[in-house]
Structure 1
Amino acid sequence: MENSGGGALLRNRRLESFLDTSSGLRVEEAPKILVKERPEHRLKKDVYINDNGWVSSIISWIRIVTCFVSMMVTTFIWALIMVVLIPWPYERIRQGNIYGHVTGRMLMWILGNPIKIEGAEYNNERAIYISNHASPIDIFLIMWLTPTGTVGIAKKEAARAVVRNNLSLIIFPEGTRSKNGRLLPFKKGFVHLALQTRLPIVPMVLTGTHQAWRKGSLHVRPTPLAVKYLPPISTENWKAEKIDDYVKMVHDLYAAQLPETQRPLS
């Protein structure tokens, strides 16, 4: 009887977990079953909840290898296209973005994480797109979800080319990847670029990616992910003497949008 009751309880919890993460529906708590659980039962439930079983690890490795091989194929194809387009720099940028859209979407499909996207009406703005960064998955999402005509630059001097060619920018304002998913302090580079280009800033808030692919791990978990575009922040009237205020304002905006587990501790 213990085995029968324990199996029923485990199936109920699996069904609740599936519905909560996949459909957003709330499942009423099942009637409690008074069962004396054996240690091995608790171990099996922990493995399922934490998704650390050997079967899950093998599936994760297969997905990662498939991502790597797929990226090699698409990169080779677009490299040939880029060679042909050497005389047309702007078309190279456009094709680079198309490569990112195709490859990024394909990689996310291979990984299989459910994704919720909000505020997609703001992803066609000519703007400076910024994003928090806590996982390699962030790169795939950015490749897929930034508009055509978006480039990433490391030097402020390149802002002139951005204005001249009507391009957008994508920047990780933290400057590095968070180790635990919590938001790091923002560097000032994105504000300097905003002052030079006068482009609006469109924040992209990513949640769940640090749990899906943890730092130092090669195990990708089926954690639900969310991407939320916030309304554009106008920089037309920004002043150089208020750079620190702008950095704090945008950082505070991110902190308010992130779940508790990703907010800064201080």
Structure 2
Amino acid sequence: MELGWLLWGAAVLLLLHVLMELSPAVNFAVRIGFYCLLCLVSSGLTAPVCLIVNGGRSVKNMKIIKNVLKTFKYLLGVRFEVKGLENFNVEGPAIIVSNHQSILDMMGLMEILPDNCAQVAKKELMYTGSVGLIMYLGGVIFINRKSTSSAKMVMSEVAKTMASDKVKVWVYPEGTRNCTGDLLPFKKGAFHLAVQAQVPVIPVVYSSFTTFYDPKKKLFTSGKIKVEVLPPIETKGLTSDDIADLTDRCFHTMRETFLRLSGRPSPREAKDSS
């Protein structure tokens, strides 16, 4: 009886492997399903550890969560090439801004996340089962993107927390996932926060995922992600009148880096070659 179940299991796995090789759609669905299952199971197993070690919600739990999630890359065949980690070595709090491409960003985030750093995420993620629970325990700051007044209140509290607890805050200024192969215009919330708290902005850029991950094409294979942490941009002395310029400066610097890391010509290079 047990041998029969083993044979059936082996046959199913073999069939699944063949279908994954023949159909990109099946391969995509299986790999995404596996990734989501990894997130749910690992979050459920890690939550009790966070409760025991740190007693509840704390940004210190991110050290535990990071060590667990960093193993995902080996299971999914994703490699990281990282430069500029020394740029995180600023005294006191800072705002970290990065591009936001897909659900795989969590792996990229955990690959380089500095100590004592909280992330800002949409409130809906808090209700995603064990994943929402582990994010809560890790000190993630949830904002309601549909309510501007609510989001502003939360960000104002974040500024106070940065000053009192000396934490860094990670924000995705595009505001939503973007797997188009370029950057979306930046929202100004993170830059308002940086100027309000008079803390530096540290840009982080991940290369495009589209060579190995593209939901529209049902593509999900192994691949390499290049990551670059750029030098901090100081905000001391800046006022609300400087926020638009700060936002544009950061956007253009990050976009040029994104295109370079992704092996694409920058607008300046394209213009020179034409």
**What is the TM-score with the length of structure 1 in the denominator?**
0.69
Please state whether the residue corresponding to 2:108 is helix, strand or coil: helix
- AA aligned to 1:195 is V
Indicate the residue corresponding to 1:204 in structure 2: 204
> Partner of 2:59 in structure 1?
93
Q: 2:194, 2:59 → 1: CA distance?
A: 21
RMSD of aligned residue pairs (Cα, Å):
2.9
Aligned pair partner of 2:40 in 57, 72, 78:
72
Distance 1:191 1:229, change over 3 A: same
Instruction: Using the TM superposition, give the Cα deviation of residue 216 of structure 1 relative to its aligned residue in structure 2, in angstroms.
Output: 4.5
Larger radius of gyration: 1
Residue identity over aligned pairs, in percent, reads 23
Structure 1 regions of 5+ residues with no counterpart?
1-51
> In 2, are the aligned partners of 1:103 and 1:143 still within 8 Å (CA)?
no
1:114 is matched by which residue type in structure 2? R
Give the structure 2 partner of residue 231 of structure 1: 231
Name the CA distance, whole Å, in 2 between partners of 1:143 and 1:175: 19
Q: Distance in 1 between matches of 2:196 and 2:46?
A: 32
Q: Name the count of aligned residue pairs.
A: 211
Deviation at residue 144 of structure 1 after TM alignment: 2.8
Task: Supply the distance in 2 between the matched residues of 1:56 and 1:152 (Cα, whole angstroms).
Answer: 33
Match runs of 1:12-23 below 5 Å: none
User: Within 5 A, what are the aligned runs for 1:43-122?
Assistant: 54=22, 63-84=31-52, 89=57, 92-95=58-61, 97-122=62-87
Tell me if structure 2 keeps the 8 A contact 1:123–1:145. Answer: no
The residue correspondences of 1:153-168 to structure 2 (distance < 5 A) are 153=120, 154=143, 155-157=154-156, 158-168=158-168
Q: Which runs of 5+ in 2 are unaligned?
A: 1-19, 121-142, 144-153
1:164-192 per-residue CA deviation (whole Å, 9 max, x = no partner) reads 11111111111112241211101101111
Q: Is the 8 A contact 2:174 2:185 kept in 1?
A: yes
Residue 140 of structure 1 pairs with residue 139 of structure 2: no
Asked whether the 8 Å contact 1:200–1:232 carries over to 2, the reply is yes
Is the contact between residue 182 and residue 263 of structure 1 (CA under 8 Å) also seen in structure 2? no
Higher relative contact order (CA 8 A, sep 6+): 2
Is 1:180–1:215's contact at 8 Å kept on the other side of the alignment? Answer: no
How far apart in 2 are the matches of 1:156 and 1:252? 24
Matched with 1:5 is none
